[in-house]
Amino acid sequence: MILNIKHYVSYNMGELFKKGHLAVGILAGLGPALIMVYFILEGNTSFGIKHVSNFYCMLGMLAAVLHPLYFVNRDYSSKTISLINNSKQNRKNYVLANIYISLLVSFLYATVGLLMILAASHLGVPGDLTVPFLLGFFTNVFLLVLTYFLFVYVLILHGIRSAAVYVILTASLLFVHNILSNVVIGTDNKFLSSLIENFPGYFYPVMVGSNPLSPLQYFIGILSLLILFALVLSKSRKIEI
């Protein structure tokens, strides 16, 4: 039997909705952002619209990556993946189906984030909502979610335990870029600074909610995405039946 990508995506997206996983994840992203909106409107802070978008991305991006990761981790942890990994075609379809889920989830999070930003601006949160900023926000969300999903997918395929995978993902999205920021601030070495600033693990979490990436960063980001996709597909095809 060939795995039907459309049915797999439809069934699992329905599960995310029915079990409330999507609602919880989106609320986790919106919560800090809405609190920031409240304090800005009350005049208790001088922050602006980019602080709101950054606070949305702080937990929102982690939640967005966790949704598609949930299915892959579930199937490999429970060994039910053996029912799917019975042919090269099914292994390929399984990878593509989960990538489609990550794209749908990222589209949902990007749309909700965009609507939240527009609503905050309409309510009086200061800051210029330029077209490049809004397009950059939308594009960055897509690239970040898909890149980090494929990154942890590679870890799962190499036998990393689920607990370690979640710790690595959380650290990568919430803490590692702060450490790298301190390195950039504290060094006079321009080569090292440039290296860190063009590292996807740094610029995605830092820039996703605040600014479009530079052309070089988009190039590196897309190249990284293609490499991760090739690694996932290649490793999946080599799984022994």
Q: 3-state DSSP helix/strand/coil percent for the chain, to nearest 5?
A: 80, 0, 20
Average confidence score pLDDT of the chain: 93
Q: What is the average pLDDT across 124-145?
A: 93
Element (H, E) at 199: none
Mean pLDDT of 97-117: 96
pLDDT at 120: 95
DSSP string, 185-198: HH---HHHHHHHHT
**Rounded CA separation 215/120 (Å):** 29
Say yes or no to pLDDT of 234 above 80: yes
Q: Mean pLDDT across the stretch 24-33?
A: 96
Q: Render pLDDT for 37-76 as a digit per residue (tens, 0 to 9).
A: 999 999 878 899 999 999 999 999 999 999 999 999 999 8
Please tell me the pTM assigned to this model: 0.93
Nearest 5°: the CA angle 230, 65, 157 is 40
Rounded distance between C-alpha atoms, residue 133 and residue 237, angstroms: 39
- Please choose, from the candidates 152, 199, 192, 151, the residue with its C-alpha nearest in 3D space to the C-alpha of residue 177: 199
Quick one: pLDDT at residue 121?
A: 95
Banded pLDDT at 241 (limits 50, 70, 90): low
Does residue 115 register a pLDDT over 70?
A: yes
Q: Which two tokens stand for residue 94?
A: 């399984």
Write down the residue that tokens 């996983």 correspond to.
Answer: 21
Tokens 């039907």 sit on residue: 4
- Nearest one of 19, 101, 32 to 65, comparing CA atoms: 101
